[in-house]
Amino acid sequence: MTKTFQGRVVTPGAAKAPALVSRGGFNTLASYQMALMFGDKQVKCGDQNNPDLYHKPMIGKALCLPETIGSTTGGMVLYCACALGKQPACMLFSKPIDSLAASGAILAANWTEASMPVVDSLGEEFLAYVKDDMTVSVAEDGTVTVEG
């Protein structure tokens, strides 16, 4: 079964990847810190307070989340992940994007070669529907297709 959602493009691009879903806020610093520091090739999530993602590989995944939370270093951490080629395939927010995630995505779009489309405002229904490993496609216009 395929379902389509329309969001707003924050940083443009197209991607197709397996979903990785965080039901709660995604703590960017806590999630990336250890993986970046110790060169984890799979970029496993290090946030012990996030039972949905803890220890799961994040690289190349369609990261589906409500919002990011935590330290104001969050945007810088996301920028570093992109610059080092350790970013998710895309980031898909059910809520309007927060200032820290927007900063990271925009810094990456302007100051790195990485491709990481970011779409926000996909709605609660999107997050309720998408599950880990479903195939998610993002189009340039912010259309997100989930194949169950």
Partner 1 sequence: MILTKEQRAMLEGRQGETMAKVVKTLVMYGEAFGAERMVPVTSRYGHTVISFGIGVMRPVYQLYDQLLSANAVSRQPFSADPRPLDKNIPSSLLQDLVFKVMYSQQDRYEEQLRKLGLMGEDAYTCACYLPEAGNVPQRGEILSWAESSAVVYANSVLGARCNRNSGIIELMGSIAGFVPEFGLLTDDGRRADWIVEVRTSTLPDAQLLGSAVGMKVLEKVPFVRGLDRWLSRELNERTCAYLKDFGAACASNGSVGLYHIEGTTPEAADLGETIIRENAPVYVVDDEELQRVKDSYPCIWQDPDAVPKLCFMGCPHMTLGQLREWTDRVEEGLRAAGNKKVRIPTVFTTAPAVKAEFEKTEDAARLKATGVVLSTICPLMYMNNPLSKKMPVITSSNKLRTYSSARYYSDEEILAKITKEGK
Binding interface with partner 1 (CB under 8 A): 10-11, 29-30, 33-34, 36-37, 39, 48-49, 69-76, 79-80, 83-84, 97-100, 102-104, 106-107, 109-112
Q: Is the CB of 90 or the CB of 146 nearer to partner 1?
A: 90
Shortest approach of partner 1 to residue 42 CB, angstroms? Answer: 16
Strand (E) or helix (H) holding 77: helix 74-83
- Dihedral (CA of 71, 75, 77, 81) sign: positive
Q: Using the 8-state DSSP alphabet, how is residue 21 labeled?
A: E
Q: Is the CB of 133 or the CB of 141 nearer to partner 1?
A: 141
Shortest approach of partner 1 to residue 26 CB, angstroms? Answer: 12
Residue 103 Ramachandran class (φ > 0 left, ψ -120 to 50 alpha, else beta) = alpha
Shortest approach of partner 1 to residue 81 CB, angstroms? Answer: 9
Residue with the two structure tokens 């979903």? 19
